[in-house]
Chains A and B, each alone.
Chain A
Amino acid sequence: MRTRNADKEKLVIEKAIELIVSGGFEGFSMNKLARLCNISVATLYIYYQHKDDLIKKIGSEIGTAFFAHTLKDFSADMPFPQGLTKQWENRISFSLENPKIVECFEIIRHSPHGEQILQTVVSPFKQTMADFFTNAVSNKELQPLPIEVFWSVAYGPLYSLLRFHSEGKSMGGKPFSLNDNYTNQALQLVLKALKP
């Protein structure tokens, strides 16, 4: 009797993420992945219909994990400054704890699979974030802004800092590592800018 082996599946996902991050989709094949996991190609095809099926499943899994982490200890009715601070904390900790996973998600997100994956996993998350925004505006804690402008100001600085950190350097190759000081400075400026 053949049964699903959870350890093996975990290994497959882990190695697939490694392969996608190091070589993109071009360098990714079921054959390579099977070899890397020390399992037969047949086993891989028993678990997943084809390469795209595997990529979609990995994307959904990462997306679900990311959104769950981002919503940890957060609720849409939090006062705006606390809520945004929590969002920054959660997004930073997920990125720092799972750098490869984040990199892989970015690759999948910008691929033809991205749209479909986001649609399936993102909706509860999107609703919470939209409620957070609307509540903050109606409580007069936040300037009414087009959502894109809000997002760029609220999270743009955070993702710039995270990018510097993941590359290990900032402008002109200056070594950079994110710390609480940098984060707080940027966050305080963001909160100040968004205040009505």
Chain B
Amino acid sequence: METNLNHILVFKTNIDQLSAGCALSESLGKETRISQWSIDLEDCDRVLRIVSETLSNKEIISLINAHGFECAELP
């Protein structure tokens, strides 16, 4: 099924590394309100892309900040 574009949130971050078992991957994976997520580590903005029907930008930013990374809405 095609993802509803209104449920896609994108952020600029400074996440430089990501591994399957790292704390950030774990919490993003565990968060049931996130149906899909990915980070483009090759891009200079390390764009985080989240698909979620219910989470707000703010909630995602604080989740990422809690892991010690910067995160801002991508204009």
**Across the interface, do A45 and B49 meet the contact criterion of CB distance under 8 Å?**
yes
Given A2-B6, A3-B5, A29:B43 Cβ within 8 A: yes
Which residues of chain A come closer than 8 Å to B2, judged between CB atoms?
4
Which residues of chain B come closer than 8 Å to A51, judged between CB atoms?
40, 42-43
A30, A46, A50: the one contacting B5 at CB < 8 Å is: A46
Asked if A130 is at the interface (CB within 8 A of a chain B CB), the reply is no
**Across the interface, do B74 and A49 meet the contact criterion of CB distance under 8 Å?**
no
Asked if A42 is at the interface (CB within 8 A of a chain B CB), the reply is yes
B6, B38, B43: the one contacting A1 at CB < 8 Å is: B6
**Across the interface, do B43 and A31 meet the contact criterion of CB distance under 8 Å?**
yes
Which residues of chain B come closer than 8 Å to A42, judged between CB atoms?
10, 73-75
Q: Which residue of B is nearest A46, CB measured?
A: B8
12 contacts between A and B (CB under 8 A): A1-B6, A2-B6, A4-B5, A29-B43, A29-B44, A30-B40, A30-B43, A31-B44, A46-B5, A46-B8, A50-B39, A51-B40
Q: Give the 10 A-B residue pairs with the shortest CB-CB distance, closest first.
A: A50-B40, A2-B5, A42-B74, A45-B10, A42-B10, A49-B38, A46-B8, A2-B6, A45-B47, A45-B49
Can you name 20 extra interface pairs (CB under 8 A) apart from A31-B45, A41-B74?
A1-B6, A3-B5, A4-B2, A29-B44, A31-B43, A31-B44, A41-B47, A42-B10, A42-B73, A42-B74, A45-B40, A45-B47, A46-B5, A46-B10, A50-B38, A50-B40, A50-B42, A50-B43, A50-B49, A51-B43
